[in-house]
């Protein structure tokens, strides 16, 4: 029995009996104890003496009482606190389960749905704590307890006390608050932190649950994080996106709240197809446009103001383009660019566009003046769209030039990609060029040759993207990856003839029995036969 254990046991007297040590960390040691007053087992944490001295007993006890007021199903409550043998301690429920760390030791990678559920529940706890002005500062698997699979976050007591401690006094202890592998860049550099630091730490935890290691082992915050989809293909796109934003180096580029992080992880049913998760079923834009035109004819210009929505990463909004050089070209103006591009997006049945009534309402409230990029971003936020498409149109000789860019509002409005088309003033290629523009915006890295309408062969964007991945895998002669991709394309669009044919080819080359080679060949031949005279 060491001196600290003896001092603590003697100081506790008859209130608590220490049964055994459960674990120790940089700031505290935790014991299993018997609470004789309430006849229950508790986890009793005692602060290391050097940390307790820097905090001061009065400050610690005052602030931990504030933390004791946290009541949330995913936060481990505090029972009691005090001083024993000159040592500061507090007690919590003893959880019979295990920590997330123990779980990850047993099972290096968790099922995607389970990992996302744990992250969402922890984010819910953090969101509540942040509204009470408490930043945890040490979110890691050791501080996430699992009771029958139900996660609860511990150690908010120390977090509250430390959050108001004098930084210079803390520095003198030599104790670093936080754990390097999960520490945000600003926390690692000793800067002031807020809730976005906890979001970064939770992003690290989710990454580890999915991949089996932290994104930057050793806390090398200047390194580059490997995308989760490169390590584990079945991870849904929205989960990959949420992790990427949570792990942004700058706090301003992360989610503003833990709730936003939880929402970005997608719907609670994460068993859906990974590709369908990011691009949901269509909301038809054209029907709304007809209604809007009717309202405008009747003089109904501005709808009753609708409450601002939270940003939806899978929702796109196209806004009126600007006019480079001042006047609008004769062939097509900024408003017509919006309409033509929206119609081009509509060829993809699984791309969601913002409700045109909302877009019109938001625009009318901002006036009829020419739209700037900042105005377009604000309009997108008004309608809750996470993805903004905006650009400009100008006259160039005997043609017009249309440039469109895709902006990610969940990442501070960063440009994802842009594309430019030129259209002859005779207008014969107008619709075709806007289809090219839309497809290039949505499919950025896909080989341009595959964007020809006769090559695409599907109206499901997710299916085409999977098909393109399969063709790329074949180019590398990675037959297993190609087969997975073509299967995914057919899952997204069972009528996708080209995917069916190339799957059959791939299985033949892999010495497997084709699923339906002749059926695939017939369907492709049927789709490409010449029209009847």
Domain boundaries, the chain: 50-79+94-272, 285-444, 461-528
pLDDT value for 255: 92
Does the pLDDT value for residue 2 go beyond 80? no
Does the pLDDT value for residue 208 go beyond 90? yes
Q: DSSP string of 216-270?
A: STT--TTS-PPPHHHH-TTS-HHHHHHHHHHT-SSGGGS-SSHHHHHHHT--S-T
Which of 401, 365, 402, 395 lies closest to 383, judged by CA? 365
Per-residue three-class SS string for 433-481? HHHHHHHHHHCCCCCHHHHCHHHHCCCCHHHHHHHHHHHHHHHCCCHHH
Which CATH code is given to the segment(s) 461-528?
1.25.40.10
Q: Which residues pair with 21 in a beta bridge?
A: 31
Q: DSSP string of 70-136?
A: ---TTBPPP-EEEEETTEEEEEEE--SSEEHHHHHHH-SS--HHHHHHHHHHHHHHHHHHHHTT---
Query: 395 — phi, psi (to 5°)?
Result: -85, 135
Which CATH code is given to the segment(s) 50-79+94-272?
1.10.510.10
Does the pLDDT value for residue 60 go beyond 70? yes
Does the pLDDT value for residue 54 go beyond 90? no
Q: How confident is the model at residue 298 (pLDDT cuts 50, 70, 90)?
A: very low
Does the pLDDT value for residue 279 go beyond 70? no
Angle at 497 between CA 493 and CA 499, to 5 degrees: 70
Active site residue 138: yes
Lowest mean pLDDT among 155-159, 358-362, 418-422, 487-491: 358-362
Does the pLDDT value for residue 304 go beyond 70? no
pLDDT value for 533: 37
Instruction: List CB contacts of 484: < 8 A, sequence separation 6 or more.
Output: 233, 470
Q: How confident is the model at residue 48 (pLDDT cuts 50, 70, 90)?
A: confident
**One fold for 285-444 and 461-528:** no
Q: How confident is the model at residue 385 (pLDDT cuts 50, 70, 90)?
A: confident
Q: pLDDT exceeding 90 applies to what percent of the chain?
A: 26
Average pLDDT score over residue span 193-197: 94
pLDDT in tens, 333-343: 888 888 888 88
Dist. CA 504–CA 110, nearest whole Å: 33
Dist. CA 316–CA 354, nearest whole Å: 6
Q: Which residue has the higher pLDDT, 17 or 478?
A: 17
pLDDT in tens, 419-450: 898 988 887 888 888 888 888 888 765 544 45
Q: How confident is the model at residue 240 (pLDDT cuts 50, 70, 90)?
A: confident
Q: How confident is the model at residue 289 (pLDDT cuts 50, 70, 90)?
A: very low
pLDDT value for 508: 84
pTM: 0.54
Query: 316 — phi, psi (to 5°)?
Result: -105, 145
Which of 414, 406, 235, 242 lies closest to 312, judged by CA? 242
Instruction: Output the average pLDDT for the chain.
Output: 78
pLDDT value for 162: 66
pLDDT value for 352: 86
Q: Which CATH class is domain 285-444?
A: alpha beta
pLDDT value for 282: 29
pLDDT value for 366: 55
pLDDT value for 309: 44
Which of 436, 360, 363 lies closest to 404, judged by CA? 436
pLDDT value for 16: 95
Which of 138, 181, 382, 492 does the annotation list as catalytic? Answer: 138
pLDDT value for 296: 40
Instruction: List CB contacts of 230: < 8 A, sequence separation 6 or more.
Output: none
Does the pLDDT value for residue 459 go beyond 90? no
């Amino acid at each position: 029995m060491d001196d600290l254990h003896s001092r603590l046991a003697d100081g506790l007297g008859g209130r608590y009996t220490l049964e055994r040590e459960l674990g120790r960390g940089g700031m505290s040691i935790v014991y299993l104890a018997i609470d004789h007053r309430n006849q229950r087992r508790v986890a009793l944490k005692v602060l290391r003496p050097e940390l307790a001295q820097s905090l001061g007993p009065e400050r610690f006890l005052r602030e931990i009482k504030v933390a004791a007021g946290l009541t949330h199903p995913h936060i481990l409550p505090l029972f009691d606190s005090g001083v024993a043998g000159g040592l500061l301690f507090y007690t919590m429920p003893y959880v019979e389960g295990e920590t997330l760390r123990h779980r990850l030791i047993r099972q290096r990678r968790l099922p995607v749905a389970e990992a996302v559920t744990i992250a969402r529940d922890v984010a819910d706890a953090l969101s509540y704590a942040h509204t009470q002005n408490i930043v945890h500062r040490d979110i890691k698997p050791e501080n996430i307890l699992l009771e029958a699979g139900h996660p609860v976050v511990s150690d908010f007591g120390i977090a509250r006390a430390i959050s108001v401690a004098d930084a210079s006094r803390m520095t003198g202890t030599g104790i670093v608050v936080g754990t390097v592998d999960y520490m945000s860049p600003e926390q690692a550099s000793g800067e002031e932190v807020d809730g976005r630091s906890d979001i970064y730490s939770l992003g690290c935890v989710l990454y580890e649950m999915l991949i089996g290691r932290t994104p930057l082992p050793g806390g090398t915050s200047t390194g580059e994080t490997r995308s989760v989809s490169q390590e584990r293909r079945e991870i849904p796109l929205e989960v990959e996106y949420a992790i990427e934003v949570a792990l942004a180096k700058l706090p301003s580029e992360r989610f503003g709240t833990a709730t936003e992080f939880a929402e970005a992880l997608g719907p609670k049913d994460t068993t859906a197809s990974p590709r369908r998760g990011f691009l949901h079923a269509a909301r038809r834009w054209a029907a709304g446009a007809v209604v809007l035109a009717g309202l405008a004819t009747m003089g109904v210009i501005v709808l009753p103001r609708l409450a601002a929505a939270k940003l939806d990463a899978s929702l796109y909004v196209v806004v009126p383009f600007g006019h480079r050089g001042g006047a609008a070209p004769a062939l097509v103006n900024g408003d017509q660019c919006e309409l033509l591009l929206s119609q081009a997006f509509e060829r993809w049945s699984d791309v969601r566009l913002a409700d045109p009534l909302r877009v019109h309402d938001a625009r009318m409230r901002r006036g009829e003046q020419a739209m700037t990029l900042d105005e377009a971003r604000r309009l997108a936020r008004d309608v809750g769209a996470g993805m903004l498409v905006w650009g400009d149109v100008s006259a160039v000789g005997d043609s017009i030039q249309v440039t469109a860019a895709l902006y990610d509002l969940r990442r501070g409005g960063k440009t994802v990609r842009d594309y430019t088309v030129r259209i002859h003033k005779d207008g014969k290629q107008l619709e075709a060029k806007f289809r090219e523009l839309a497809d290039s915006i949505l499919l950025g890295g896909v080989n341009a040759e595959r964007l020809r309408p006769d090559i695409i062969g599907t109206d499901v964007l997710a299916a085409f993207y999977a098909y393109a991945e399969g063709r790329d895998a074949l180019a590398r002669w990675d037959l297993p990856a190609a087969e997975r991709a073509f299967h995914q394309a057919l899952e997204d669009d069972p009528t996708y003839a080209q995917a069916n044919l190339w799957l059959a080819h791939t299985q033949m080359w892999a010495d497997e029995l084709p699923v339906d080679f002749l059926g695939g060949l017939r369907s492709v031949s049927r789709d490409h036969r010449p029209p009847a005279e």
